[in-house]
């Protein structure tokens, strides 16, 4: 196993801009219940804690309580339409290629359900970069619980690791394990990491110095 730092990425808002497809799927579920559509701005603050929380927040915005069937319908819709408008952030493929070429082990730790995450990685041709995918339903824990991130570290062989994400959940999980973190400032959230970057091109240089 390489002694290089393992690099663990969040997915939504870090590797990919998935907000348009999340919004479209959630709004279709809301429309089917006779509820108004949410705006893109409203959605951004709802992303980061997994599909269940997203659906619950979408319904709560209309004073409604989401039911299990609402989540099931959202997941079915989203998995069918997860890459209609979703794109990889600029420069990310090049950064991933550089990191992998330098011998870093790459993984994903996301609160998104693993099945949906796997579909996206396959369709956006990102799967070859990531031998490890830990979804929100892959362990009993989810970020910010550090045990969720620990599952990815272990799966990548242990040793030195860094967490890259756009949400406080990512930074908190890293702090809980005593790991450095890199805040992706182009994403959906606000947080304080060990480092902050404004473009994917900055990542290889920072990680090389860890």
Active site residues: 10
Cβ-based burial of 117 (10 A; exposed 0-12, middle 13-18, buried ≥19): buried
Q: Please, are residues 51 and 43 in contact by the beta-carbon 8 Å criterion?
A: no
* Alpha carbons 84 and 184: distance in angstroms, whole number: 23
Question: What is the bridge-based pairing of β-strands 181-184 and 195-197?
Answer: parallel
**Listed residue (20, 110, 32) closest to 67, CA to CA:** 32
* Alpha carbons 78 and 157: distance in angstroms, whole number: 32
Question: What is the bridge-based pairing of β-strands 161-165 and 132-134?
Answer: unpaired
Q: Please, are residues 49 and 34 in contact by the beta-carbon 8 Å criterion?
A: no
**Listed residue (105, 104, 135) closest to 118, CA to CA:** 135
**Listed residue (19, 25, 30) closest to 63, CA to CA:** 30
């Amino acid at each position: 196993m390489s002694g290089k730092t393992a690099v663990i990425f969040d997915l939504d808002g870090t590797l990919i801009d998935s907000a348009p497809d999340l919004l479209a799927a959630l709004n279709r579920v809301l429309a089917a219940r006779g509820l108004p559509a949410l705006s893109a701005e409203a959605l951004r603050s709802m992303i980061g804690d997994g599909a269940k929380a997203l659906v619950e927040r979408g319904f709560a915005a209309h004073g409604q309580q989401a039911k299990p069937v609402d989540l099931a319908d959202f997941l079915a819709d989203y998995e069918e339409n997860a890459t209609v408008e979703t794109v990889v952030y600029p420069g990310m493929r090049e950064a991933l290629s550089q990191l992998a070429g330098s011998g870093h082990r790459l993984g994903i730790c996301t609160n998104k359900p693993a099945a949906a995450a796997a579909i996206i990685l396959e369709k956006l041709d990102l799967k070859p970069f990531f031998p490890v995918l830990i979804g929100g339903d892959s362990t009993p824990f989810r970020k910010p619980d550090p045990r969720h991130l620990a599952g990815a570290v272990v799966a990548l062989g242990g040793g030195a690791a860094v967490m890259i994400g756009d949400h406080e959940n990512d930074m908190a999980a890293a702090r809980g394990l005593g790991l450095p973190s890199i805040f992706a400032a182009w994403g959906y959230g606000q947080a304080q990491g060990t480092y902050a970057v404004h473009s994917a091109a900055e990542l290889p240089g920072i990680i090389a110095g860890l």
